[in-house]
Each structure stands twice: as C-alpha cells, then as structure tokens.
Amino acid sequence: PQGPAPDPAAGRAVHAADRAHVFHSWSAQGQIDPLAVAGAEGSYFWDYEGNRYLDFASGLVFTNIGYQHPKVVAAVQEQAAQLCTFAPAFAIEARSEAARLIAERTPGDLDKIFFTNGGADAVEHALRMARVHTGRPKVLSTYRSYHGGTQQAINVTGDPRRWASDTGTAGTVHFDGPHLYRSPFWSRTEEQECARALEHLERTIQMEGPATVAAVILETVPGTAGIMMPPAGYLAGVRELCDRYGIVFILDEVMAGFGRTGTWFAADLYDVVPDLMTFAKGVNSGYVPLGGVAISQKIAETFDQRPYPGGLTYSGHPLACGAAVATLRTMAEEGIVEHAAHIGETVLGPGLRELAERHPSVGEVRGVGVFWALDLVRDRTTREPLVPYNASGKDNAPMAEFAAAAKRAGLWPFVNMNRTHVVPPCTITEAEAKEGLAALDEALSAADAHTAEAGGEGTGA
Ligand code: PLP
C-alpha cells in the first residue's frame, strides 16, 4: 500500500498545529518532533513527504489486525449509522455480542466482562475488584512491568515511569519476577530461576502478611519491559501460591492478548487460568478505545447481590464493541491467530536468531508469535546493556542511532531502553516480515559499532 501523492506543505501544517496545541504522553514537550502521518494500511504507514514505513511496533503494540482492515472499518461505519452511542446500563447488541465473543475465548470460567476505555482503567478496576472481594489492602506486582498510566496502575508498574508519580501508595509491593538473562540472583538455568522467583514471591507474601494481600498482578508475558517469556512452571506456581493464601491472581493481557503470542491469550501457552484478566489493545486493534476485565465465577459472585463500586460513562461503548465484534470474527474467519504463530515459528524466530549470529550487539533473542525482543548489549560476555538503564540524551546515543538507521531502511522500530521489540501486526505477510528483517540487519550494524567486538566504545570482556 502507498498513500496519495506527497504533500509536504500539508504535513508541515499538521506538525505546526500539533506542536502548538498537542501535549504528548511521557515526553518533554520542548524536546519532541513527532512525525506527521498521512495514512496507513495493513502493516504500513506513510508520512507527507513520500516516506513509507513498515510498522514493526504495531502503533503501541495494538494493531494486531493491521491498519484499516476493511471489515472492521465497515463494522464501525455500520454501528455509527445504526446506534452511535448509548449509556452503559442498557443491553445493547454490540456490547452483549462483544462480551459473549470475548468470554468464549478467555480461558476457564472468565465469563463475565466489565468494559473499560483502555488498559490502565482495566487494571484499576481489576485491583478494586480484588480488594473488595478479599477485603484486603495490598497488591503485589513485579519490577520490570508496565500496567498503565493512571494512579493505581502506575503504582503497580515496575518501570521508571512510576518514579515521578509514585506516592509510595500504601499497599503496593514489588517483587522480582523471573528473568534469567538479567537475573542478579544465584540461578543459572530457567528451572533454577523459576524456583528462585517462586521462593521469593512466597517469602514476600509471608513477610507482608498473607491476610493483608488482596492480589498478585502479573503480565502473563511482560511486554514493555522486555518480552520476558516466563519459565515453564512459573505461572502454575504463582497460581498455586495464590490459591494457598486466598489471594486473587490477576493476569494483565493488555499487550499479550488477542493473538500476539500466536494463541488467543498468552495464558493459553501456559495453561493457566487467573481469577481476573485485563485486556485492551488487540481486542479491537485500537480502532476505537476499548479495554476490560474478564471476571471468574468466584469473583463475579461477590457482586451478585452487592453493588460493584465502580463504573464508566462509556463502559462498553457501542462503536468500540462493534469494532471488537468485527475484529474477533475476522480473526477467527481469517485464521489470524494461527498465522501469527506460523510467522513466528517459520520467519521471525529463525530470522532473528540468524541476525543474532551475525551481529555482536544482539545479546539475546526471546519471544513467540509476533512478540519478540532483541536485548542489545555492548558485550555479549558481560551482557552489559548497549545503553545504561533509563538512559537519555548522549547516554542513549547508540539506541538513537539504531532507530535512525532502521527508519532510513523503511522500518518503524519499537525501542525501549537497550532493546528493540519486534511486534508487527498478527497479519504481517511472510514477504513483509522478511523485508523487516532485512531492515533490522542494516540497523543492527549501527548498534554493532558500539560493541566490544567492534573495538569501539565497548568495555571488552
Ligand atoms: N497493561 C499492559 C500490560 C500494557 O502493556 C499497557 C499499555 O501498554 C497497559 C496495561 C495500559 O494500557 P492503556 O495504555 O490502554 O491504558
């Protein structure tokens, strides 16, 4: 796909209005220069200058079905014509059908759906449900996690974005989940790291007082913090600990859900059923903002005769739900989840591992489906990250050079700290995936220049 003829003057006008009036997320407003985007289709988007980019970031990891899928666009248009909006206390076809389709896909008895506007408010409500259900105050979450930008969600988050707004909220306790490649602990194998992480979690529960812990919240596969596939047995172990201490187990599938891991949910990979599961993003590929909490029978019963203390004006908005119904039906009809698994197994996984063999800057390749991370290092032996934790400005130059090289090669990369994540739409074709791997090959050469093997700025082994 290619957009209409370039129109740099129109692009400059869009950019100028943006800089005059749009206040951007997570940014120093005076230091940003957002690309003016003219359009998008499938796996690509383009600017007003005539540059086209293969989107290996899926926006913010949400366009699982690609941009402008004709069936989803048509469904939004039809829903708008039929019933554009309606208050949440009524039964509306788009809403009830979206809930039915989601409940059909979610694991176990997660059969009731509370709709929100996105991921962060899904997390807010899951935490509230857990606290009301147990009558306990505390929530345990991991360092190296992201759960959203609202107050509770940012406090359970385990990345530096939490620091500025963390008020040390009573009741939030962080622990170290498993991550063998960068584990500071004694473990040397995935099995040991799994045992280490479970022992550490149980100790944390005991030290905090089991009767004070309402919930453990985890991303099934932590996404933003580095696509860290949990070791076999870890999630089952957490499930077991939660059962033993009467703690609500919440899995956050906002990023990992709806096809990204080559299964409907990442939980399916591990055969684990949480008590609450949060979702957003891929549920309708972000065509209209939507998120939610899938609720187990046990938790739903708490609110059977007792009002749930929470709600949103736009809970289950008809346009968002209409988009979800079309997305979920299309994903099933077109075998998109199976396609994501296949592309991961046959193209992305082998292709990324092959790049790692040739590029000394790649320390580790990890992932599944269309959910991959390359952990970039200065030195493979010491595993020193290519840029320091939370680097900015000059310290972050190697990653900035990597990203610039990717863009010159026509690839829009997802970059976080010392990593690039390979998270294209689930619909990416084999040819597009190969095109993206070729662009990554070029961009990694820019990163290699900063490694010990290049004799550059690396520290040496
Ligand atoms: N939870 C996870 C796992 C996420 O990855 C995100 C966003 O990236 C969120 C929650 C927050 O979602 P939103 O930005 O829609 O509020």
Q: Where are the domains of the chain?
A: 8-68+335-454, 70-333
- 121 CA closest ligand 1 atom index: 16
User: What CATH topology corresponds to 70-333?
Assistant: Aspartate Aminotransferase; domain 2 (3.40.640)
> If you take atom 5 of ligand 1, which residue's CA is the nearest one?
255
pTM to 2 decimal places: 0.97
Ligand 1 centroid to Cα of residue 255, in Å, is: 6
Any ligand 1 atom below 6 A from CB of 146: yes
Would you state the pLDDT for residue 169?
66
Any ligand 1 atom below 6 A from CB of 159: no
Would you state the pLDDT for residue 458?
45
Best residue among 64, 121, 254, 287 to mutate for probing ligand 1's pocket (most ligand atoms within 8 Å of CB) is: 254
Any ligand 1 atom below 6 A from CB of 219: yes
Q: At 176, is the secondary structure helix, strand, or coil?
A: coil
Any ligand 1 atom below 6 A from CB of 396: no
Would you state the pLDDT for residue 456?
54
- 119 CA closest ligand 1 atom index: 12
Would you state the pLDDT for residue 453?
79
Any ligand 1 atom below 6 A from CB of 224: yes
- 255 CA closest ligand 1 atom index: 5
Q: Where are the beta strands (DSSP E) in 354-446?
A: 362-368, 371-379, 384-385, 411-412, 414-416, 419-422
Asked casually if ipTM beats, i.e. exceeds, 0.90, the reply is: yes
Would you state the pLDDT for residue 3?
72
Write out the chain's pLDDT in tens, 461 residues.
667 789 999 999 999 999 999 999 999 999 999 999 999 999 999 999 999 999 999 999 999 999 999 999 999 999 999 999 999 999 999 999 999 999 999 999 999 999 999 999 999 999 999 999 999 999 999 999 999 999 999 999 999 888 887 666 668 999 999 999 999 899 999 999 999 999 999 999 999 999 999 999 999 999 999 999 999 999 999 999 999 999 999 999 999 999 999 999 999 999 999 999 999 999 999 999 999 999 999 999 999 999 999 999 999 999 999 999 999 999 999 999 999 999 999 999 999 999 999 999 999 999 999 999 999 999 999 999 999 999 999 999 999 999 999 999 999 999 999 999 999 999 999 999 999 999 999 999 999 999 987 765 544 43
Ligand 1 centroid to Cα of residue 61, in Å, is: 10
Any ligand 1 atom below 6 A from CB of 256: no
Residue type present at position 431: A
Which neighbouring-strand residues pair with 247?
A: none
Handedness of CA 386, 392, 397, 402 (dihedral sign): positive
Any ligand 1 atom below 6 A from CB of 223: yes
Helix axes 318-333, 70-82, angle to 10 degrees: 150
CA angle 349, 178, 342 (to 5 degrees): 20
Best residue among 61, 117, 146, 221 to mutate for probing ligand 1's pocket (most ligand atoms within 8 Å of CB) is: 146
DSSP string for residues in 223-284: -TTT--PPPTTHHHHHHHHHHHHT-EEEEE-TTTTTTTTSSSSHHHHHT---SEEEE-GGGT
CATH number given to 8-68+335-454: 3.90.1150.10
Which residue, chain included where needed, has tokens 């310290």? Answer: 395
